[in-house]
Amino acid sequence: MSGGPPKALPSTGPQSLRDMPHPLAGSSSEEAVGGDSTPSPDLLTARSFGDKDLILPNGGTPAGTASPASSSSLLNRLQLDDDVDGETRDLFVTVDDPKKHVCTMETYITYRITTKSTRVEFDLPEYSVRRRYQDFDWLRNKLEESQPTHLIPPLPEKFVVKGVVDRFSEEFVETRRKALDKFLKRITDHPVLSFNEHFNVFLTAKDLNAHKKQGMALLTRVGESVKHVAGGYKLRSRPLEFAAIGEYLDTFALKLGTIDRIAQRIIKEEIEYLVELREYGPVYSTWSALEGELAEPLEGVSACIGSCSAALEELTDDTTEDFLPVLREYILYSDSMKSVLKKRDHVQAEYEAKLEAVALRKEERPKVPADVEKCQDRMECFNADLKADMERWQNNKRQDFRQLLMGMADKNIQYYEKCLMAWESIIPLLQEKQEDK
Amino acid sequence: MEQAAPDPERLLQPAPLEPLSHPDTGLESVVGEGAKGARDEGPGDGTMTESNFSLKKIEISVSEAEKRTGRNAMNMQETYTAYLIETRSVEHSDGQSVLTDSLWRRYSEFELLRNYLLVYYPHIVVPPLPEKRAEFVWHKLSADNMDPDFVERRRIGLENFLLRLASHPILCRDKIFYLFLTQEGNWKETVNETGFQLKADSRLKALNATFRVKNPDKRFIELKHYSDELQSVISHLLRVRARVADRLYGVYKVHGNYGRVFSEWSAIEKEMGDGLQSAGHHMDVYASSIDDILEDEEHYADQLKEYLFYAEALRAVCRKHELMQYDLEMAAQDLASKKQQCEELATGTVRTFSLKGMTTKLFGQETPEQREARIKMLEEQIKEGEQQLKSKNLEGREFVKNAWADIERFKEQKNHDLKEALISYAVMQISMCKKGIQVWTNAKECFSKM
């Protein structure tokens, strides 16, 4: 985005989510919230996917906006992902079209969630609902509750801590939208989580609040029972492979934190550089006004510096909007993964304690009681799930960072290319001979 | 240039601008040096012809700088830098150059030379010296006069100064300049013997003239205004440029931190490790590339600085004109008042105040003989005054003519030089951009292999 104060989203006026038409009424892919409020062109057009999003390895495609380029990159991407066969992908989820809602009590943003699926779990082939951040938060909590043995992707931060960021600025909303989209795509990509009933409800329910109130009782294999694992069991030692994971995550988060700080520092320096450039360029203009033959060359240099300033601003904006959020997301991810590791430890501890208790009891029938068996089962499932998720996570992480860092390099290349063009174009002007001026 | 009647108003009109037609215009130096020889134009082509001597091409270079210690005028130890000036004469036939002179000079001797030239060639825009103390430094640059980078840039600046002199059609013929290049010992005494310090106009006198001159040449007013503005805008430019350099330095250097953290991160990764590690290396390259980039930019800053100081030289010429013009106005005024006095004495009317008139009133009239005597004296003074005014007027016109010739030459030189400077600046920027693209492309490739 170019410079200027962040733009506020057009408001739709007081509306309730309940008032929104059924997703399938009329054209489902068009949003009819608030009647005749027309979304600004920016929001509609650009909110399909840029190239970057298409290369996401975590699944999902732009629903209904497939262009030749997108389907080929979709195929490329899918080949990298071991778990998903391009032909069997049967669930596509998209987050787009943010809209501001102004109510008496509060103002908030909703996003359109479009789902296309051939799975039997879905009654209809296509859904379009609107959700707000709260709803995503609810979903995540539900997933954590119901699938405690799996790694649940992180959400973008709930509150904006640093600085005076406008929650309703276009830049902030877009950054958040991308993160929410990533969140859903990661779930979509997951062989277990994507079948979770809460996820289904989230994607399809016309009125999510009603569902929230009902508090669905779900039966999952390990879910309910694991919730009640007492905290009293202490693990003696973590198995080597999980200890390694734990250590890895610690160092990983540390390094990401450092990179985050470096990136912030670079942005700060670039902004200060920009401030000086903005004073520097105009001085050439002032000088140009004094001169005769030199007037055009000097003015040209001034314009050139102006172009470079604009390019630099774009670079810093991109870094802020695209680079930093992904870094932070992964730090959150590794934090939540560490707590899953701890849960796993508890399960193992419980099993080991119970096993020990049995061994000490010295019964005539040294048969392993049912509940100890259940514990063992629980532990082994947990370990298996976790290992599988870790592997998938590592793979996705590699793709994500590859893309992220290549993107960062790309932005810098583009910045320098813009500056290069500006300076090269001015050389002929500077070399021009004055003809009888 | 003969005046029909001694009309003060007409005498005060400055000479109209004469076109720079004849190539010899402006060659008549005020000091009155003799022979004209072949003259080489173009700044910095480093050649000069000697006047009064055989025609030879000469190359000048300031090739070395050396730290010295010695005793100053107050017999205290001091450290200073001496610069080696080498002069080579080029034989026309085979183009070979032979070292003819080499001697050491310190900055203060360059200053002495320039001050001398300022006095003897007030109608010339005398090339400036490189700065005495480092100014407009950004944080990494040293403000220390002994710093090797500063000394090196000063060496180049001094060489440039000598080359400017050598390629100036008038200044290149100056004997003191010639001796500066050829006579190591005793040169200072020779310069001082010219008594130029005495001929120098006092600052106070010049300031006075600036405020009181009534009718200076409009073109000089404009020129003075221009040189003030030029000075102001280049100062501003140099200040901001220094800050820009500072900030740019910061941006590049922080990227170096990526190098370190990528390396540390690569240690815990399997497949990603190599890509990260090699990308980190490129970040280090990127961070260190800024040092050379900014060093090159200092040359650009030096080119700007030269013209910043040139603005001062322009002002000096304007000041001299103001002084001469003021002098002329005063002389004309004085003449006019004497004539009036004479007339009053002759006719017996008293229109102007005079002490004599006053005393006459108080103490009684003077005798006719006394009056005659006074009239006679006044008439003589008037005749003298008219002569003086005529020659001052002539001088004034000559000055304006010669000065404008040099100013036109200067303008062309300035336009040419600054255009070249801007081009080289653009080229530097282009090079910097290309380097940036290269580094990030390399890094991108490393990332792609992750």
User: Tens of pLDDT along B6-21?
Assistant: 444 344 444 433 333 3
Put simply, the answer to whether B268 touches A248 (Cβ < 8 Å) is: yes
DSSP B418-440: HHHHHHHHHHHHHHHHHHHHHHH
Could you give the residue ranges of the DSSP H alpha helices within B213-272? 218-266
pLDDT of residue B448: 94
User: Contact A22/A183 with Cβ under 8 angstroms?
Assistant: no
Put simply, the answer to whether A430 touches B230 (Cβ < 8 Å) is: no
pLDDT of residue B224: 94
> Which of B226, B254, B419 has its CB closest to that of A262?
B254
Which of B341, B348, B351, B346 lies closest to B381 in space, CA to CA? B341
Distances (CA, A) of A81 to A56, A67, B159: 10, 21, 67
Instruction: Give the mean model confidence (pLDDT) for residues A20-45.
Output: 40
Which of B200, B23, B20 lies closest to B122 in space, CA to CA? B200
Q: What is the DSSP letter of A17?
A: G
Q: Is A87 exposed, middle or buried (0-12, 13-18, 19+ CB in 10 A)?
A: exposed
Put simply, the answer to whether B450 touches A248 (Cβ < 8 Å) is: no
Q: Is the dihedral of CA B286, B287, B292, B295 positive or negative?
A: positive
A390, pLDDT greater than 60: yes
Contacts 24+ apart (CB under 8 A), B52-58: B52/B175, B56/B89, B56/B90, B57/B89, B57/B90, B57/B92, B58/B87, B58/B88, B58/B89, B58/B90, B58/B100, B58/B166
Put simply, the answer to whether A255 touches B237 (Cβ < 8 Å) is: no
B207, pLDDT greater than 80: yes
Distance from CA of A128 to the nearest CA of B (A): 36
Instruction: Give the mean model confidence (pLDDT) for residues A231-242.
Output: 78
Put simply, the answer to whether B233 touches A286 (Cβ < 8 Å) is: yes
Name the residue of chain A whose CA is nearest to B271's CA.
Answer: A398
CA dist A180 and A186 (Å) reads: 10
Which residues in chain B have Cβ-Cβ distances shorter than 8 Å to A281?
none
Report the percentage of chain B scoring pLDDT > 90.
52
pLDDT of residue A231: 56
B160, pLDDT greater than 80: yes
Angle (CA) A424-A430-A433 rounded to 5° is 135
* Each residue's pLDDT tens digit, A189-231: 999 999 999 999 999 988 888 877 765 544 444 444 455 555 5
Put simply, the answer to whether A262 touches B258 (Cβ < 8 Å) is: yes
pLDDT of residue A211: 78
Per this entry, what is the length of chain B? 450
Which of B55, B46, B50, B53 lies closest to B162 in space, CA to CA? B46
Indicate left, alpha or beta for A20 from its phi (over 0: left) and psi (-120 to 50: alpha): beta
Encode burial over B365-389: b for 16+ CB neighbours within 10 A, e otherwise.
Answer: eeeeeebeeeeeebeebbeebbebb
Contacts of B238 (CB under 8 A, 6+ apart): B135, B136, B301, B304, B305, B308
B124, pLDDT greater than 60: yes
Instruction: Give the mean model confidence (pLDDT) for residues B237-257.
Output: 95
Distance from CA of B300 to the nearest CA of A (A): 14
A176, pLDDT greater than 70: yes
Tell me which of A245, A319, A406, A411 to substitute to probe the interface with B (most B C-beta atoms closer than 10 Å).
Answer: A406
Instruction: Give the mean model confidence (pLDDT) for residues B97-106.
Output: 87
Which of A311, A336, A365, A367 lies closest to A253 in space, CA to CA? A336
Contacts of B213 (CB under 8 A, 6+ apart): B322, B325, B326, B329
Put simply, the answer to whether A262 touches B264 (Cβ < 8 Å) is: no
Q: Picking from A86-100, A205-219, A402-416, B369-383, which range would have the lowest pLDDT averaged per residue?
A: A205-219
Tell me which of B269, B412, B416 to substitute to probe the interface with A (most A C-beta atoms closer than 10 Å).
Answer: B269
Distances (CA, A) of A208 to A87, A145, A342: 31, 18, 32
Put simply, the answer to whether B247 touches A272 (Cβ < 8 Å) is: yes
Could you give the residue ranges of the DSSP H alpha helices within B349-367? 355-363
Distance, first Cα to last Cα, chain A: 41
Q: Which two structure tokens, joined as six digits, stand for B370? A: 């006394």
Q: Is A214 exposed, middle or buried (0-12, 13-18, 19+ CB in 10 A)?
A: exposed
Q: Which two structure tokens, joined as six digits, stand for B114? A: 């320039």
Q: How confident is the model at residue B201 (pLDDT cuts 50, 70, 90)?
A: confident
Q: How confident is the model at residue B163 (pLDDT cuts 50, 70, 90)?
A: very high
> Which of B244, B250, B440 has its CB closest to that of A412?
B440
Which residues in chain B have Cβ-Cβ distances shorter than 8 Å to A269?
247, 250-251, 254
* Each residue's pLDDT tens digit, B24-83: 333 222 222 333 333 333 333 444 444 433 445 778 889 888 888 888 778 888 888 899
User: Contact A242/A341 with Cβ under 8 angstroms?
Assistant: yes
pLDDT of residue B345: 79
* Each residue's pLDDT tens digit, A134-166: 999 999 999 998 988 899 999 988 766 555 567
Report the percentage of chain A scoring pLDDT > 90.
44
Q: How confident is the model at residue A45 (pLDDT cuts 50, 70, 90)?
A: very low
Encode burial over A9-29: b for 16+ CB neighbours within 10 A, e otherwise.
Answer: beebeebebeebeebeeeebe
pLDDT of residue B406: 95
pLDDT of residue A4: 44
Which of A408, A135, A1, A243 lies closest to B444 in space, CA to CA? A408
Put simply, the answer to whether A304 touches B426 (Cβ < 8 Å) is: yes
Q: Which two structure tokens, joined as six digits, stand for B348? A: 């017996």
Query: What are the two backbone dihedrals, phi and then psi, of residue A94, each rounded to the nearest 5 degrees?
Result: -135, 145
Q: Name the one residue in this structure whose structure tokens are 């979709």.
A: A74
Instruction: Give the mean model confidence (pLDDT) for residues A360-385.
Output: 79
The mean of the pLDDT values for chain A is 78
Q: Which amino acid is at A127?
A: Y
Q: Which two structure tokens, joined as six digits, stand for B125? A: 């825009």
Q: Which two structure tokens, joined as six digits, stand for A132? A: 């707000």
Put simply, the answer to whether B419 touches A297 (Cβ < 8 Å) is: yes
* Each residue's pLDDT tens digit, B128-149: 999 888 888 777 666 677 788 8
B93, pLDDT greater than 80: no
Instruction: Give the mean model confidence (pLDDT) for residues B247-251.
Output: 95
Q: Picking from A374-388, A416-430, B83-97, which range would have the lowest pLDDT averaged per residue?
A: B83-97
Q: Which two structure tokens, joined as six digits, stand for A379? A: 């532990």
A271, pLDDT greater than 90: yes
Distance from CA of A90 to the nearest CA of B (A): 29
Q: Name the one residue in this structure whose structure tokens are 């000065």.
A: B403
Q: How confident is the model at residue A17 (pLDDT cuts 50, 70, 90)?
A: very low
User: Contact A17/A99 with Cβ under 8 angstroms?
Assistant: no
Angle (CA) A101-A104-A110 rounded to 5° is 20
Name the residue of chain B whose CA is nearest to A426's CA.
Answer: B426
B154, pLDDT greater than 50: yes
* Each residue's pLDDT tens digit, B261-296: 999 999 999 889 999 999 999 999 999 999 999 999
Q: Is the dihedral of CA B230, B233, B235, B241 positive or negative?
A: negative
Q: Is the dihedral of CA A53, A59, A65, A71 positive or negative?
A: positive
Q: Which amino acid is at B297?
A: E
A275, pLDDT greater than 50: yes
Largest CA distance in chain A: 117
* Each residue's pLDDT tens digit, A66-104: 444 444 444 444 444 444 555 578 899 999 999 988 888
Compute the count of residue pairs across chains A and B with CB atoms less than 8 Å apart.
Answer: 137
Q: What are the residues facing B90 on neighbouring strands? A: B57, B97
Query: What are the two backbone dihedrals, phi and then psi, of residue B217, each rounded to the nearest 5 degrees?
Result: -60, 130
pLDDT of residue A265: 95
pLDDT of residue B67: 86
The mean of the pLDDT values for chain B is 82
pLDDT of residue A279: 97
Encode burial over B258-284: b for 16+ CB neighbours within 10 A, e otherwise.
Answer: bbebbbbbbebbeebbebbbbbbbbbb
Put simply, the answer to whether B437 touches A420 (Cβ < 8 Å) is: yes
Q: Are strands A126-132 and A107-117 parallel, antiparallel or unpaired?
A: antiparallel
Which residues in chain A have Cβ-Cβ distances shorter than 8 Å to B233?
283, 286-287, 290
Q: Which two structure tokens, joined as six digits, stand for A377? A: 């089962």
Query: If residue B69 lies in a helix (H) or strand (E), which one and from where to where?
Result: strand B57-71
